[in-house]
Amino acid sequence: MVIQDSTDFARQIIAVILAAGSGTRMGSETAKQFMDLCGRPLLAVTLNHFQRCNLVDRIVLVVPPEHIEYCRSEIVDRFTFNKVYKIVPGGERRQDSVRNGLEAINHPCNLVLIHDGVRPLMSNGLLERLIEAAQGCKAVITGLPVKESVKEVDSTARVLRSIDRRGVYLIQTPQIFRLGDIKLAHKKAVEHGWEDATDDAFLVEKLGIPVTIIQGEEDNIKVTTPRDLEIARLLLSKRSASSEE
């Protein structure tokens, strides 16, 4: 795999990790990104992938304003995540948090990775495949093809039509973009009122920039409920057991 030389600062890759959610669906006083996942905070497990990846140069961490110092001392410093060079406050919505993270980047770079901090089970292989794909594409996202039947319904849950699932994907993070493109997309979102974007590719698509999708991973789940956390613990425990064999 041919990757840009990280000694060329203009070509560095920076990751923006989003961990600013409140986690109300988890039903706990502890925000989901700080909950225990096999002996470590969930967010620490996520950050470790980017810390270990030689292709990622720096990390911007976006967290709730009231948890900035906690993250600095109990996660970044405690686990020696020395690639984290900025910890910034999140916004009201996800896209506000992403914008805050992008605006904090004052170090020359070419590519920006955006990843949900509560997706701790992404493999290093997926991260490398995504960066490799970005060498020839303007924007690259990860996702899984839909397996079940898909139907569109109205506000009363009445089925309107069946949708051909071929070509339909469930989208994940990480996603990767040219820094200039993603910054412009978020700027235009503010100017034109493009609200409630569930992922950043949505905004880039509105600029007419082609977005390429690569195969994601079944284990790359987003932890939002207690059941998700149980599954993540099971999967991570199995990985640990396999590595010890």
Q: Is residue 3 part of a domain?
A: no
Across the range 68-87, mean pLDDT stands at: 97
pTM value > 0.85: yes
Q: Is residue 219 part of a domain?
A: yes
Is there a contact between 135 and 13 (Cβ–Cβ < 8 Å)? no
- Residue entry with tokens 């999708």: 213
Domain housing 184: 9-244
Q: Is residue 40 part of a domain?
A: yes
Count CB neighbours of 166 within 10 A: 7
pLDDT at 244: 58
Determine the residue type at 203: L
Q: Which regions of 119-182 does DSSP assign to beta strands (E)?
A: 139-145, 150-153, 159-163, 169-178
Report the length, in residues, of the chain.
245
pLDDT tens digits along 159-202: 999 999 998 999 999 999 999 999 999 999 999 998 878 899 99
CATH (domain of 146): 3.90.550.10
pLDDT over 90 percentage in the chain? 84
Across the range 1-26, mean pLDDT stands at: 70
Q: Is residue 1 part of a domain?
A: no
> DSSP 3-state assignment of 86?
strand
pLDDT at 21: 83
Q: Is residue 2 part of a domain?
A: no
Q: Is residue 238 part of a domain?
A: yes
Domain count, the chain: 1
CA distance 232 to 93: 25
Is there a contact between 87 and 71 (Cβ–Cβ < 8 Å)? yes
